Amino acid sequence: MSHKIVAANWKMNGSLDLVKELTGEIKAQLAKLDNGVKVVIIPPALYLRDVHREIGSGFELGVQNVSQWEDGAVTGELSAAMAADVGASYVLIGHSERRQLFGETDEVVSEKVAKALAHGLSPLVCVGETLDERDAGHAVDVVCGQVEKALAGIGPDDWKNIVVAYEPVWAIGTGKTATAEDAQRMHREIRDLLARLGAPADTVPLLYGGSVKPDNAAELFAQPDIDGGLIGGASLKADDFVRICQSA
Ligand code: PGA
């Protein structure tokens, strides 16, 4: 029985029509899947209720971001409480697109992690190095630094709700995937760090993301420290996404 997690990050894609089509196909095809994989659908927040209605039980839902603030005069933001209220149980935090395009710092990431936990959401904390950082030999330091800062404020009871996604920035949406060995090596570093931070490290799911496709998913998922995947582009094609879930 698989204990893997496969999460679909739809990013800012879709429409009501696509939601209906994609959700319907995923539901129909994955209903037969009995490998125990946990499937998390993370649509644009505006469509979360529609996905919820269409997909029924057997799937988890998430949002792609929440505010670091509780509520009030924060025009345009969505709160962790609201995400939980409409059925989300996961939230992506610190995705590299948020860090790069919206200037999210490690400090903001850690505030969002705290806010998510306070409202019963599982933060899916995204970390990853750029190509320059990797080429300079700093990948492990960068990634471990991000993990440590994101999780600095959490309490001993919070670990059971934490998921970490390693997504090398150079592999996101580029068609370039880390080799299974490179990904495994980084996941091991992250797990060792979690142990040093006092976490029950073996039980914290570590997902790999970055150009995961049906033809590379099985090899990635076979690595001992890769507990599943965060899927962007391929999650918008029902057949590809279903095949990835089948590999888990
Ligand atoms: P990708 O995106 O699968 O399209 O590379 C992954 C992600 O950004 O979560």
Q: Which of 189, 126, 118 is nearest to 163 (CA)?
A: 126
Q: Whose CA is closest to atom 9 on ligand 1?
A: 232
Mean pLDDT in residue range 128-155: 96
Q: pLDDT (tens digit, 9 = 90+) per residue, 193-232?
A: 999 999 999 999 999 999 999 999 999 999 999 999 999 9
pLDDT band per the 50, 70, 90 thresholds, residue 248: very high
The rounded mean pLDDT for the chain is 96
Alpha carbon distance 184, 169 (integer Å): 16
Q: Whose CA is closest to atom 2 on ligand 1?
A: 232
52 belongs to the catalytic site: no
pLDDT band per the 50, 70, 90 thresholds, residue 39: very high
pLDDT band per the 50, 70, 90 thresholds, residue 34: confident
Closest approach atom of ligand 1 to CA 165:
9
Task: Give pLDDT, residue 191.
Answer: 98
Q: Is the per-residue pLDDT at 118 higher than 90?
A: yes
* Candidate list 95, 97, 187, 189, residue with the active-site label: 95
95 belongs to the catalytic site: yes
Q: Whose CA is closest to atom 3 on ligand 1?
A: 232
| Six-digit token string for 214 | 């049906």
Alpha carbon distance 226, 167 (integer Å): 12
* Angle in degrees, 0-180, between the axes of helices 48-55 and 16-30, rounded to the nearest 10: 30
Cα 172 to middle of ligand 1, angstroms: 5
pLDDT band per the 50, 70, 90 thresholds, residue 45: very high
Task: Give pLDDT, residue 220.
Answer: 97
Q: pLDDT (tens digit, 9 = 90+) per residue, 17-27?
A: 999 999 999 99
Q: pLDDT (tens digit, 9 = 90+) per residue, 180-197?
A: 999 999 999 999 999 999
168 lines ligand 1 (CB under 6 A): no
| Six-digit token string for 164 | 């970490």
Q: pLDDT (tens digit, 9 = 90+) per residue, 81-112?
A: 999 999 999 999 999 999 999 999 999 999 99
Task: Give pLDDT, residue 33.
Answer: 83
- The percentage of residues in the chain with a pLDDT greater than 70, rounded to a whole number, is 100
Structural domains of the chain, ranges and CATH numbers in brackets: 5-247 (3.20.20.70)
Burial of 16 (0-12, 13-18, 19+ CB in 10 A): exposed
Q: Is the per-residue pLDDT at 8 higher than 90?
A: yes
Q: Is the per-residue pLDDT at 79 higher than 70?
A: yes
Mutational pocket test of ligand 1: of 92, 212, 213, the residue with most ligand atoms within 8 Å of the beta carbon: 212
pLDDT band per the 50, 70, 90 thresholds, residue 58: confident
This prediction has a pTM of: 0.96
Task: Give pLDDT, residue 1.
Answer: 60
Tokens 């009030």 label which residue?
72
Bridge partners (DSSP) listed for residue 124? 92, 163
* Cβ contacts of 120 within 8 Å, gap of 6 or more: 84, 89
